[in-house]
Amino acid sequence: MSLILYGAILSPFVRKIRIQLAEQNIEHELVNQTPFMQPDWYYEISPLGRIPAIKDGDLSLADSSVIAQYLQETRDGIRLYGRTPAEAARVRWLEKYADYELAGPATFKTFFNRVVHRLMGKACDEEAVQQAVKQDLPPLLDYLETQLGNQHYFLGDQFSMADIAVCSQLINLAHAGELIDEETWPALSSLLSRVTSRTSVSSLLPAEHRIVGMVNGASVSAT
């Protein structure tokens, strides 16, 4: 099998690619690589040491959106970047918004403090979490809510990488114990239910929940 995905399954950026691989039905091997203590050889594949990265034969690529676009252009299956240049641009904008704006408060502040820090035996900075959840996230979610309107997906009836990228961040938020309020963000809450019901996503979640459950169990028994 020539395609190898490197990463850890709780990373929202790795999850994006795993969902895409399942949606496009692409055969691959997953090699576990944490975002810490990367071996020297890993920097040959991912120059910044980040996950995800892939190897496809002799080609190495890093960064989830670069990988996603490459897989979309080189493999068959569902089209995840719309049907027109304007739709593709909208998907890329929302993907970038999820990866660079939502990721800050959702993953790097809330999920890292509540889950990753516990996993590493470090203290959770609950003040930073509260700032992220109460102040930083709401305006970002408000914008996404207006972008969805009454639609099923960000591109209307068409599922796309925009839905994958946004929901991937919301899944990390949920792993950290923060569910978005369905009365304040009804469209976004419905999107999350719709996306997590897809087989490409629901098939990944039990293994993720097991790890998060272990982390929570360990921290409860340690206190």
Which chain residues interact with ligand GSH by CB under 6 A?
11, 13, 35, 49-52, 63-65, 99
Q: Min. distance of Cβ 55 from ligand GSH in angstroms?
A: 15
CB closer to ligand GSH, 172 vs 189: 172
Q: Min. distance of Cβ 212 from ligand GSH in angstroms?
A: 14
| 106, 169 Cβ separation under 8 angstroms | yes
What is the C-alpha separation between 29 and 12, in angstroms, rounded?
Answer: 18
Q: Min. distance of Cβ 57 from ligand GSH in angstroms?
A: 21
CB closer to ligand GSH, 62 vs 88: 62
Instruction: Tell me 45's DSSP state.
Output: H
30: enclosing H helix or E strand: strand 29-32
CB closer to ligand GSH, 10 vs 185: 10
Work out the burial of residue 55: count CB atoms within 10 Å of its CB; fewer than 13 is exposed, 13-18 middle, 19 or more buried.
middle
Q: Min. distance of Cβ 52 from ligand GSH in angstroms?
A: 6
CB closer to ligand GSH, 9 vs 187: 9
| 8, 59 Cβ separation under 8 angstroms | no
